[in-house]
Amino acid sequence: NSAPILESNGRYKVDQLKYPKYTGRKEKATFVTLARNDDLYSLLPAIKSVEDRFNHKFQYDWVFLNDEEFTDEFKRVTSSLVSGTTKYGLIPKEQWSFPPDIDQQRAAETRRQMKADKIIYGDSISYRFMCRYESGLFYRHPLMQEYEWYWRVEPDVKLYCDIDYDVFKFMRENNKKYGFTISIKEYEATIKSLWATTKQFIDQHPEYLAKNNMLDFISDDEGSSYNLCHFWSNFEIASLDLWRSPAYSAYFEHLDKAGGFFYERWGDAPVHSIAAALFLNRDEIHHFDSMGYFHPPFHACPVDDDVRLSHKCDCNPNQDFTWKGYSCTTKFYTVNGLTKPKNWQLHAE
């Protein structure tokens, strides 16, 4: 832990750019990023932002997953930015391909039709593998087994505010299981039968519904239809045990058998969100309202000046998406009886 040595050319010795080691108690937690080798240079600013705003203080591990081997360049450069231990995992081929019972012609017909309808990623096979993997498989990777909590990070994201507390400890101590920053409505065309398939599952397994679930966040008619609200899963701070639970394991299997990841284009965001809303009690779901977050094209920027200034946020509150009409976060606050920040209405238009 000696101070870095500054040489006369104005550079530090590379191997000495380490932060003092964090010696407090850490949670069994890790960052997790699914990425291609090509994502490296759009991922770096995201990692740097998370490190600068949060992780250099706590030095949590970072797991990188890929359906191909990571290059040495990817490993060398990412590990230079992460203050914790970095780990690089290969996704087994059978988890990044079509399950054997998928009707290839039907899947191809869907992709053709969605392309004609100009649905985003509608004709992509790899995007579907990605959504299925993030929905039901990432937490089964051997590198994830030692952890209880994860924080998902994607290329091109940014944190806008300082986070001076251990978010994983916060989750555990406050009995939170799922945390989000942005919520939004899904494209209906990508999930046409997801709700019917979900209702089928609940009919078969009513015992998995949490007593104080949050059905009123995802349905405006007591469950008859899905209102398309979901947590934007490019950011997630959550319990891995939630996905490893009997309820979610059975739910994912039910969805996977129905084939909607390929016959439609079910996203991991609505899948995770519906599960969290139904299998968790509402107070186990947390909105991180003072982090500030960006994933193209939406910004979450605390609209309360006191919050923004005390957390050193570098975002423009006039760009905040949280309280806008297409966001579902206003509904989240309303159905849960939470107090919205002062001035939220000024940012609703």
Is residue 154 within the footprint of Mn ion (CB under 5 A)? Answer: yes
Q: Residue 184 interacts with Mn ion (CB under 5 A)?
A: no
Q: Where are the alpha helices (DSSP H) in 137-267?
A: 167-173, 194-204, 215-218, 240-244, 246-258, 260-263
Question: Residue count at the site for Mn ion (CB under 5 A)?
Answer: 2
CB nearer to Mn ion: pick between 66 and 234? 234
CA distances from 242 to 26, 156, 170, 315 (A): 20, 27, 16, 32
Q: CA torsion, points 75, 81, 85, 86, in degrees to nearest 10?
A: -30
Catalytic residue among 51, 236, 264, 284: 236
Quickly count: other Cβ atoms within 10 Å of residue 244's Cβ.
14
* Least gap, CB of 271 to Mn ion (angstroms): 16
- The CB-of-36 to ligand GDP minimum distance in angstroms stands at 4
- Interacting residues with ligand GDP (CB under 6 A): 33-36, 39, 66-67, 126, 130, 154-155, 234
Least distance (Å) from Mn ion to the CB of residue 315?
18
Choose between 130 and 313: whose C-beta lies nearer to ligand GDP: 130
Residue 130 binds which entry of Mn ion, ligand GDP, none, CB below 5-8 Å type-dependent: ligand GDP
Estimate the crossing angle of helix 194-204 against helix 268-279, to 10 degrees: 30
Strand, helix or coil for residue 175: coil
* 67 interface partner picked from ligand GDP, Mn ion, none, CB below 5 to 8 A per type: ligand GDP
Q: Which is closer to ligand GDP, CB of 47 or CB of 303?
A: 47
- Residue 72 phi, psi dihedral angles, 5° rounding: -60, -35
Query: CA-to-CA distance for 53 and 340, rounded, in angstroms?
Result: 24
CB 137, min distance to ligand GDP, A: 12
- Minimum CB distance to ligand GDP smaller for 33 or for 197: 33
Min dist CB 234 to Mn ion, Å, is 5
Is-catalytic flag, 173?
A: no
33 DSSP β-pair partners: 64
- Binding Mn ion (rule: CB under 5 A), the pick from 55, 234, 327, 329 is 234
Residue that has been written with the tokens 């519906």 in this structure: 274
Say which residue the tokens 């231990």 belong to.
Answer: 85
Please check whether residue 115 is in contact with residue 123, taking contact to mean a CB–CB distance below 8 angstroms.
yes
Residue whose CB is less far from Mn ion, 83 or 234: 234
Residue 151 CA to residue 146 CA, distance in Å, equals: 14
Stretch of residues binding Mn ion (CB under 5 A), selected from 98-106, 183-191, 194-202, 226-234: 226-234
- The two tokens of residue 215 are 């059905």
* Positions in the binding site for Mn ion (CB under 5 A): 154, 234
Active-site positions? 236
